[in-house]
Every structure is written in structure tokens, then in C-alpha cells.
Amino acid sequence: MAAARATPVQSVRLHAAAEKLLEEIGATLEPADRATCEPYLAQVALLLSEGERATAWSAGWALSVDDAIGEALVLADDFAMDAP
């Protein structure tokens, strides 16, 4: 959702937070889910420098679960408010 809304830093942050949580619980994204994410992550890679992506990834990895959920909920609320 963040990538679709042209918020590349937030996209990387939330993806990193999700990857961290998956690692912590010993899970991985299903191949179909990963395939869904890949085009958006490729789009984000074009919008940010390697340094910007690394900084955003580190910031996302450092987020607590509660903070990541809060950030995602704010994004979802913003998205819903912009919907027709």
C-alpha cells in the first residue's frame, strides 16, 4: 500500500518491519505473497538511492511490532480517506 501511494521510504520501513517479525516467529512470506510484493519493491528501488533504502531498512528493522502496526494503520486510514 505504501509503495502504491508513492511513499517509498515508508514502504521500505514497513517491509523491513514485516521481514523482522517473520524472522522472529520463524516464518517466511508465501511465494505468491512475495511475488505480489516484488513489483512494488522494484518500483521503490528506482525511487530511492541505495543509501536511502539502507537507512529506511534499518529504521524499519528497529521498529517495534506496535510501532510498525501503528504506522501501517495510519497509512491505511490515509488511504481509506483518499478512496472515492
What is the DSSP code string of the chain?
-TTTTT-HHHHHHHHHHHHHHHHHHT----HHHHHHHHHHHHHHHHHS-HHHHHHHHHHHHHS-HHHHHHHHHHHHHHHHHH--
What pLDDT score was predicted for residue 59? 96
Q: Is 40 domain-assigned?
A: yes
| pLDDT tens, N- to C-terminus, the chain (84 residues) | 555 565 889 889 999 999 999 999 999 989 998 898 888 888 888 889 999 999 999 999 999 999 999 988 888 877 667 656
What pLDDT score was predicted for residue 66? 95
Q: Is 84 domain-assigned?
A: no
Q: Is 3 domain-assigned?
A: no
What pLDDT score was predicted for residue 78? 73
* Overall number of domains in the chain: 1
Q: Is 37 domain-assigned?
A: yes
Q: Could you list the residue range(s) of the whole structural domain that residue 19 is in?
A: 8-79
What pLDDT score was predicted for residue 45? 85
Q: Is 70 domain-assigned?
A: yes
Contact 65, 24 (CB under 8 A): no
* Phi and psi at residue 28, to the nearest 5°: -135, 160
Q: Is 1 domain-assigned?
A: no
Q: Is 34 domain-assigned?
A: yes
Note the pTM of the prediction, 2 decimals. Answer: 0.81
